[in-house]
Amino acid sequence: MDNLTAELKNILGGSRVRLGEPMSLHTSMRVGGEADYYLRPQDEEALMDTLHLLAERQLPCYIIGGGTNIVARDGGIRGAVVEIGKGMGGITVDTERRSISAGAGASLSALAKQAAESGLSGLEPLSGIPGTVGGALFMNAGAYGGDMSQVAIQARVYDRAAHTIKTVNVYEMRLGYRSSIFQARGEYVILSVMFGLKRKDTDSIKSKMRKFARRRNSKQPMDVPSAGSFFKRPPGAFAGALIEEAGLKGLSCGGAKVSEKHAGFIVNTGGASAADILSLMEQVQKAVRENSGLELEPEPRIIGDDV
């Protein structure tokens, strides 16, 4: 066993250090080659110690949550992938202050459910978005007119450069459409997020969540692997509509396909490679550009190496 592997196992425990781990097991698209190291810290201290060690060894590092907004290339990932998961997913409710705090690894759906049970409203539009709280803040995830910028108050972050924990308020986060300071400042790693909500009747909150769930299930391909809406919304337009207008519904490349249910989704119909997905993405971008003059930008992070 090499020294780095031994040190990582000392920090994380043997079962939380995996070598040559297929990223297809950890992304909602179900594609991706092997990561040299796949690491799963059990708490904040282990996360910070791990990141500090990787920085000392100058090993490239990718941080992921639920893997729901990622396309990992087929050649895999040189360096380490660090998963912020359930070990950092605690949720604390303060009904008096109408706030709720969640670890970066908490699922967004679990957070919304806990808020509803506590009679706190504001997270309903986000309740059906897959993935983690940290990933949602990183992307400023949103749906049905709501996004993280409307409910997040502050976040605790680990500053890798300074090797310290900081608190960042919502104004400092620079939350825009699918953008945040965390994308621009890679040294900031989200540890937890505090949300400011409103008091409301639990039944009415749950009713609204069910309404959004029905809407999502009726219009989106929930039964096949995807990364959610694959393209960002261009100014003054909708990606799905532009793709449909270009006659691309059902277009396929290998096992990847433009969903016939919602053209804004690229889905894995079974056995797709990352190369299939990215080739289809480029075909869609080219056709939409030629048809409308507008440029589509992918929403998922595309990481790793080609074969």
Residue at a domain's end among 67, 86, 105? 86
pLDDT digits (tens, 9 = 90+) for 234-245: 999 999 999 999
Same domain, 93 and 195: yes
pLDDT digits (tens, 9 = 90+) for 3-58: 999 999 999 998 999 999 999 999 999 999 999 999 999 999 999 999 999 999 99
d(CA 136, CA 29): 17
Structure confidence at residue 185 as a pLDDT band (50, 70, 90): confident
Task: State the average pLDDT over residues 147-173.
Answer: 96
Same domain, 94 and 188: yes
Task: State the average pLDDT over residues 182-206.
Answer: 95
Listed in sequence order, the DSSP H helices in the chain are 3-12, 44-56, 108-117, 133-139, 170-173, 181-184, 202-219, 239-245, 274-292
Q: In what order do the strands lie in the sheet with 164-169?
A: 91-94, 99-103, 188-196, 152-159, 164-169
Residues 117, 132 contacting (CB under 8 angstroms): no
Is the pLDDT assigned to residue 166 strictly greater than 90?
yes
Read off the DSSP letter of residue 88.
G
Is the pLDDT assigned to residue 1 strictly greater than 70?
no
Strand 99-103 and strand 91-94: the pairing is antiparallel
CATH code for the domain of 162: 3.30.465.10
Same domain, 98 and 81: no
Structure confidence at residue 186 as a pLDDT band (50, 70, 90): confident
Q: Which amino acid is at 176?
A: G
SS3 300: coil
Domain coverage including residue 166 = 89-204
Same domain, 160 and 111: yes
Same domain, 275 and 252: yes
Number of domains, the chain: 3
So what's the pLDDT on residue 2?
82
Catalytic residue among 101, 107, 192, 229: 229
d(CA 26, CA 24): 5
Q: Is 299 a catalytic residue?
A: yes
Q: Is 178 a catalytic residue?
A: yes
pLDDT digits (tens, 9 = 90+) for 97-147: 999 999 999 999 999 999 999 999 999 999 999 999 999 999 999 999 999
d(CA 63, CA 66): 10
Compute and round to an integer the Cα radius of gyration of the chain: 20
